[in-house]
Amino acid sequence: MVPESVCIIGAGVFGISTAIALGKRYPNTKVTVIDRLEPPVIDGTSVDTTRCIRVDYKDPIYAELARESMDIIMNDPDVSPFFHQCGMSFVYDGGTDKWADIWINGKIAAEKANEGHPGRLRYYDSKEAVYKSIHGADAEPVASNSRWNKGYTNYLNGFIDAEKSMKAYYERAKMYGNVRFIFKEVDSIVYAPGSCKAEGVKLVDGSTIAADLVIVAAGAWSCKLVNLDGVCKSSAIEVAWFKVTKEEEDQWGKMAITTNLSTGINLFPPYNGEIKCLRRSPGYKNTMKVPNPNPAKQEALEISYPRTVVDHPTDWIPQDAEDALRENLAEIMPALAKRPFDRTKLCWLTQTPSANFVIDYHPELEGVLLATGGSAHAWKFVPILGDKVVDYMEGKLEATLKDMWSFAEKLKVTVDNGSAPRMDGEPQELREVVRECPN
Ligand SMILES: Cc1cc2nc3c(=O)[nH]c(=O)nc-3n(C[C@H](O)[C@H](O)[C@H](O)COP(=O)(O)OP(=O)(O)OC[C@H]3O[C@@H](n4cnc5c(N)ncnc54)[C@H](O)[C@@H]3O)c2cc1C
């Protein structure tokens, strides 16, 4: 059931998409979206120069949802200008480990998504062919390149400018008369005295906003507002940008987004005079103790909580992150391997054990709906996420999605489904390894 008043904490893809769906489908419901900052939120996971829009999921449910979302994005005049269908290459070292399985499954999914359009796929069977896919037919791979041996490109995929398009979605949400935005930090959810029934939220300035339903769509920050122990873990991964010359933009202008599954690196083609790279590393955590957000529980909660440019503007990615990026670049884009980074970022995300999202009521609380757990792959679903949240509220979400995105699934399923795989290992404590911006 959709109540008369809803408060959404967070204006990233989950929150804004839900606000739009409620604005469209429930014009009489009063919707208040609260964020720390006005969208596009500078340190939100949904905001960046680029986010990949791809369809080659092994899981047929995500594959279908991704295709549906991509079609909507491509036909949406407000965001389609920000989508660049440059293709995505997936490469691995040619071995026989789990990355080979993920690569093979991705290739099968890409072929399925391109049935009838074989020209949209290209295959590479040697390190020379992989290298030439980036640098052109005349290029010779560097001798040390040993981990870029097999690949394919799916030209259906591409990237979207995730800052400009979040601004467009924000402008759209504001058009609905029943949707309003407030830019302040939520301190906590307010519960009826002596109960776990939510009545609204308290902001850090002490003011309160009453609501029949509170939707927690606060991404990596959600773990402080509700207990998500065992369900969502927040961590950050390293991102870096290089400035490139006009000549280099021309030279690499036709390259696809290139991901090496075996090493975790993700390279984007030049965009606005920059090349972005990131690594799907085990990442970094920022451990702290907070009061238990469940009013019925006394013991403090240990969480990992985002530390971002907003409070730490001079943070710079750790040395091991830089070394790993440069080691990869030396093999595949040697011209960048020794170039200073123009800027870097630790991008926070919230990960569930299975990489499935969470769209479910919190089992210990009343009137608190979770819309989070993006697990490094939720952006592309922005056109449909909000409708799925509202379907859930109406009790109409398809049974498979309801199970897949349930709170309980996260406590049962410990195996990552490979939708956005990260390198093996444990996150490091950020405060022990973070560096200061060199200039
Ligand atoms: C490096 C990286 C690369 C990625 N690449 C891709 C990709 O290529 N394709 C893809 O589909 N997905 C990708 N993802 C995943 C995708 O970006 C996320 O799943 C998605 O953006 C998460 O959205 P969200 O709404 O949950 O979180 P966010 O966008 O972080 O939104 C949460 C919002 O809540 C607000 N908030 C938090 N706490 C409070 C509070 N107490 N009071 C008020 N407001 C609060 C924050 O300010 C923030 O704006 C990537 C993620 C990362 C980290």
pLDDT of 140: 86
Domain carrying residue 385? 5-429
Q: What are phi and psi of 49, to 5 degrees?
A: -65, -40
Residue 439 maps to a domain = no
Tokens of 120: 């949209």
* Residue in the block written with tokens 């309003």: 180
For residue 413, what pLDDT is reported? 85
Residue 93: predicted pLDDT: 96
CA of 46 to the centre of ligand 1 (A): 4
Residue 439: per-residue pLDDT:
77
pLDDT of residue 314: 97
The CATH number covering residue 275 comes to 3.50.50.60
Ligand 1 site, residue 148, Cβ cutoff 6 A: no
Residues of the chain with pLDDT under 70: none
Q: What is the pLDDT of residue 414?
A: 87
Alpha-carbon distance 321 to 326, whole Å?
Answer: 9
Instruction: Tell me whether residue 343 is in a domain.
Output: yes
Q: Which atom in ligand 1 lies closest to the alpha carbon of residue 372?
A: 26
For ligand 1, is residue 52 a contact (CB within 6 Å)? yes
Query: Quick one: pLDDT at residue 410?
Result: 97
377 within ligand 1 shell (Cβ under 6 A): yes
Local structure of residue 256 (DSSP, 8 states): P
Residue 345 covered by a domain? yes
**Which atom of ligand 1 is found nearest the CA of 218?**
34
Residue 434, in any domain of the structure: no
Closest atom of ligand 1 to CA, residue 39? 49
Q: Do the domain assignments include residue 98?
A: yes
- State which amino acid sits at residue 75: N
Q: Return the pLDDT at 257.
A: 98
147-163 burial string, b = 16+ CB within 10 Å, else e? Answer: bbbbbbbbbbbbbbbbb
- HSE, side-chain direction, 13 A CA sphere, residue 25: 17
User: Looking at this protein, which amino acid is placed at residue 265?
Assistant: I
pLDDT at residue 144 in the model: 76
Residue 34, ligand 1, Cβ within 6 A: yes
Total domains in the fold of the chain: 1
Element at 330 (helix H, strand E): helix 319-332
Is residue 50 within 8 Å of 159, Cβ to Cβ?
yes
Assess if residue 422 is contained within a domain. yes
Domain annotation covers residue 158: yes
Confirm whether 435 is domain-assigned. Answer: no
CA distances from 321 to 115, 280, 309, 332, 377 (A): 39, 10, 17, 17, 21
